[in-house]
């Protein structure tokens, strides 16, 4: 399980990607991808005023986009433990 902030945990097998939020918003292709995906995904803001990373997961044929207050570098390190 990957702890992604607050009390949220996501099974590692369900994680598709982890992105740095600022970089994702700067890149037009990534921004458009997330925008299109968010229309059909469950969007979960763990701290809407302090977003550092975006975690995309798929569970039971549904996509979930988690906006996390934890940096993508920290989440990546946690995923490797």
pLDDT, tens digit, 9 for 90 and up, residues 4-53: 999 999 999 999 999 999 999 999 999 999 999 999 999 999 998 999 99
> Which DSSP symbol is given to 63?
E
CB 65, CB 37: distance < 8 Å: yes
Provide the domain limits for residue 51: 2-79
The predicted model scores a pTM of 0.91
Query: Considering only CA atoms, which of 79, 1, 77, 37 is closest in space to residue 67?
Result: 37
80: pLDDT strictly greater than 90: no
pLDDT of residue 81: 79
pLDDT of residue 48: 87
Number of domain units in the chain: 1
pLDDT of residue 8: 94
Whole-angstrom distance, CA of residue 19 vs CA of residue 54:
5
């Amino acid at each position: 399980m990957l702890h992604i902030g607050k009390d949220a945990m996501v099974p590692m097998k369900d994680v598709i990607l982890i992105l740095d939020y600022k970089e994702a918003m700067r890149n037009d292709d990534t921004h458009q991808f997330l925008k299109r995906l968010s229309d059909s995904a469950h969007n979960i803001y763990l701290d809407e005023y302090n977003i550092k990373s975006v975690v995309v997961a798929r569970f039971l044929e549904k996509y979930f986009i988690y906006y996390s207050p934890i940096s993508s570098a920290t989440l990546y390190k946690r995923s490797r433990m």
